[in-house]
Amino acid sequence: MESFDFVEVKVPAKAEYIGVVRLSTSGIANRMGFSFEDIEDLKVAISEAITNAVKHAYEDSGEGEITIGFGVYEDRLEVMVADHGGSFNLGEVKEDIGPYQQDDNIEELREGGFGLFLIDALMDKVEINSKYGVIVLMTKYLHETEVGQNGDQISTTQ
């Protein structure tokens, strides 16, 4: 079996702790050698998952804990965010995600609908399991040579 390090962080399901997990995330990603851009992507994606978990915890009882597990592999980081509270209707959530389209009416724009869409856009792989509470499992690969990705940018370094 592939070996990996596992880091677990448990925080109260409160918005003020989301930033704390962001700091842990950037610490771990930085240690693994992710680029600055990838670290920023990871911070947003993980915050989105925790924000969702906090919202659901709040709707249910206003308390609870969120568990974040980091699987540190040679070539990738797997992050699991689990709210051990109520589950949501995955079908409903999926219908709600997606970028803004030119022909969408501004009145109908979803104020809270970008969370899962961003997770999907910023991570390489996303899986959601809502069997026991909601677990979001996200993966980001460590790309050692990123030639293609920044190829369209012009360097302005002097």
Partner 1 sequence: MNLTIDVTNKENLAYLSLSGEVDAFTAPKLKEALLPLTKEEGQTVEVDLQDVNYMDSTGLGVFISALKSTKEHNSEMRLVHLQERVYRLFKITGLTEIITIDSAVRGEK
Give the binding site for partner 1 (CB under 8 A).
15-16, 18-20, 22-23, 37, 40, 43-44, 47-48, 50-51, 54-55, 99-102, 106-107, 109-112, 114-115, 117-118, 121
CB-wise, 67 or 73, nearer to partner 1?
Answer: 67
**Considering the complex, what minimum distance in angstroms separates the CB of residue 18 from partner 1?**
5
Cα–Cα distance list, 106 to 11, 85, 120 (Å): 36, 33, 23
**Considering the complex, what minimum distance in angstroms separates the CB of residue 45 from partner 1?**
9
**Considering the complex, what minimum distance in angstroms separates the CB of residue 25 from partner 1?**
12
CB-wise, 6 or 100, nearer to partner 1?
Answer: 100
Distance CA 41, CA 63 (A): 28
In what side-by-side order are the strands of the sheet with 65-72?
A: 5-12, 65-72, 76-83, 134-141, 125-129
In three-state secondary structure terms, 10 is strand
**Considering the complex, what minimum distance in angstroms separates the CB of residue 16 from partner 1?**
5
Q: Are 9 and 65 in contact (CB under 8 A)?
A: no
CB-wise, 43 or 140, nearer to partner 1?
Answer: 43
Helices and strands in the chain, H and E counts: 4, 5
